[in-house]
């Protein structure tokens, strides 16, 4: 009788541990697939102690150094497999497009415009830092140092998330995209006026 009771106890303990393990695995899968809406990710981002696991998100930064950690789901001794790229560009959100000239040559601030050079990006093995310029004018001044930059017209920007941060795995299989606003131009603001026409830097 004692042996039977012991066997039953072992059986139920095994069942409970199996259920807990299954629940943990399901929880991890749900977390790193954004509720099953995305494919499983091999790495994730950490900002301010908070984990970022969704492929698309939005944030607001102050015009000071920002630090992100890159964490991997599984340890690997392969340095290439742990590599990643970081890019900052114009978000391309509706209402953020405007025109300017650099030494007389026309350019457009629009989605896909690479702005990484203006953000003092520093990339390490386990993460990266960058410093957002306080204004879009400052962004252009840093992007084109020692050149004359002229915003050709007055613009009303109605979308505060002017920028997009993209972090991509070495093989392009995993990508995080974060649109963000900076400084005094917060997500609650309705518009930002770039004025006057002919603002010059350089």
Q: State whether 91 and 167 are in the same domain.
A: yes
Cα–Cα distance, 64 to 138 (Å, whole number): 13
Q: How far apart are CA 175 and CA 41, in angstroms?
A: 9
152/126 same-domain check: yes
**For residue 201, pLDDT beyond 60:** no
Closest listed residue to residue 155, CA positions, set 170, 173, 137: 137
Question: Are both 46 and 138 inside the same structural domain?
Answer: yes
One domain for residues 160 and 101: yes
53 and 139 co-located in one domain: yes
pLDDT confidence of residue 55 = 92
Are 10 and 103 in a shared domain? no
Mean pLDDT score, 35-42: 55
16 and 112 fall within a common domain: no
What's the pTM value of the predicted model, to 2 decimals? 0.74
User: How confident is residue 10, by pLDDT bands cut at 50, 70 and 90?
Assistant: low
One domain for residues 10 and 62: no
Best CA proximity match to 158, nearest among 76, 94, 107: 94
Residues 57 and 15 in one domain: no
pLDDT band at 72 (very low <50, low <70, confident <90, very high): confident
Distance CA 65, CA 180 (A): 14
Give yes or no: residues 77 and 161 share one domain: yes
Q: How far apart are the first and last CA of the chain?
A: 91
Distance of CA 18 to the CA centre of its chain: 36
124: which DSSP letter? -
Strand (E) positions, the chain?
43-47, 50-52, 56-61, 66-72, 84-90, 98-102, 105-109, 122-123, 127-130, 149-151, 155-157, 163-169, 175-182, 192-194, 199-201
Q: What's the CA gap between 64 and 130, in Å, rounded?
A: 8
The whole-number pLDDT of residue 79 equals 54
Q: Is 144 in the same domain as 74?
A: yes
Domain region containing 14: 1-31
Q: Do both 74 and 157 map to the same domain? A: yes
Number of domains into which the chain is organized: 2
The pLDDT of residue 128: 97
């Amino acid at each position: 009788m004692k042996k039977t009771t012991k066997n039953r106890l072992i059986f139920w303990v095994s069942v409970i541990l199996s259920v807990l393990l299954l629940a943990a695995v399901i929880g991890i899968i749900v977390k790193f697939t954004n509720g099953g809406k995305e494919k499983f990710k091999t790495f994730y981002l950490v900002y301010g102690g908070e984990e970022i696991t969704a492929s698309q998100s939005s944030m607001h930064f102050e015009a000071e150094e920002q630090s992100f950690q890159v964490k991997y789901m599984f340890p690997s001794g392969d340095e290439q497999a742990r590599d990643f790229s970081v890019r900052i560009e114009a978000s391309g959100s509706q209402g953020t497009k405007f025109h300017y000239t650099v030494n007389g040559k026309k350019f457009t601030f629009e989605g896909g415009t690479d702005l990484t050079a203006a953000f003092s990006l520093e990339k390490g093995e386990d993460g990266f830092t960058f410093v957002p310029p306080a204004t879009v004018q400052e962004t252009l001044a840093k992007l084109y140092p020692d050149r004359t930059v002229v915003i050709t017209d007055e613009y009303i920007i109605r979308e505060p998330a002017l920028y997009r941060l993209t972090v991509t795995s070495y093989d392009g299989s995993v990508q995080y995209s974060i649109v963000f606003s900076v400084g005094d131009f917060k997500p609650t603001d309705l518009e930002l006026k770039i004025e006057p026409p002919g603002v010059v830097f350089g």
